[in-house]
Amino acid sequence: MVDVELLSKICKVPGAPGYEQRVRELIIKELDGYVDEIELDPMGNVIAIKRGADDTKVMLASHMDEISFVVSYIDDDGFLRIHPLGGFDPKTLTAQRVIVHGKKDVMGVMGSKPIHIMKPEERKKMPAVTDFFIDTGLSKKEVDKLISPGDVVTRERELIEMGKCVNSKSLDNRVSVYIQIEVMKMLADKKVPYDIYATFTVQEEIGLRGAIASASGINPDFAIAMDVTLACDVPDTLPQNHITKLGQGTAIKVLDGMTVCDYRMINFMKEQANKKKIPHQMEILPAGGTDTAGLQRHANGGSIAGALSIPLRYMHSHIEMVNKSDIQATMDLLKACLLNIDKYNWNFR
């Protein structure tokens, strides 16, 4: 059963890349008493450890940062210019509300040149992030008291339920943060075969930086990343370009633009899904990447790595959407993998 209230709380908390402190506090509070140890590394990654019967290391990773902006300039009228932290679809930014995290949180709206006064050639051009500014409704004098260049900006949007789905900002990747927290709670009173390092990483949206650092420190034998993936199952998209579909189960990653997952991990995940009758689909993502790449390459000598992905529509916009049944399937498969990882033949064959 998906705890929508907890998921909503996790999505709402701001956490720009490098400024994840509020998310970090929430995660530590939620996991206190459910794991054996909680550590913070120098970059700010949260590492929640559950000890197993064997000191073989299984590392999980869900990034806790969200695509955001940083204030780069304040003009003479108090309008803010911004630099993106992570990839945005600029056409989705028009007239959206944001929160500027200055000396206090200040509400703003994304503005751009009105279409009514655009030249014909301007109307045909796709917008860029640099075409937008933030209007706080405050005078220059008031803005200067509260906001400075270098302050970060996050999206403002509440989570709502829509049919069998939830819709919110920051489901990329707070839905995985939620799943990882819930699965560690499920395992609290169970014996696990290996040590589990449930890691909540920083700065994924700007280059997998937290995953690289934490994998180097933990040096896992096995690694499972958790992130969202594209669900392009919408009108005017060819079936072969859907990547995944909402409501068809968790996605077992085969590859993305940065990683070819270990075939042993893929087969192990498929085996567990089939045994437990967990709905699943295969993810072949032609571009983009996740913490999987950092976990696979930056353990000492590499790790046996794979990923579970949650299908998501409207990625990198103000409103992202996932199906609750896919969240549940991902939780079920992750739990099964962690309890049975010692029972699989991991030899090359």
Residues with catalytic roles: 204
> How far is Cα 105 from Cα 21, in angstroms, rounded to an integer?
15
Hey, what are 58's tokens? 């299984």
Among the listed residues 141, 112, 101, the one whose alpha carbon sits nearest the alpha carbon of residue 18: 101
Structure tokens, 321: 């959407």
- Say which amino acid occupies 173: N
Q: State in Å, rounded, how far the first CA of the chain is from the last one.
A: 38
Q: How is residue 308 written in tokens? A: 């579970």
- At which residue do the structure tokens 């045994």 appear? 275
Instruction: Record the tokens describing residue 20, joined without a space.
Output: 């994840």
Report yes or no: 49 and 188 within 8 Å, Cβ to Cβ: no
> Going by C-beta distance under 8 Å and a sequence separation of 6 or more, which residues neighbour residue 53?
191, 192, 193, 194
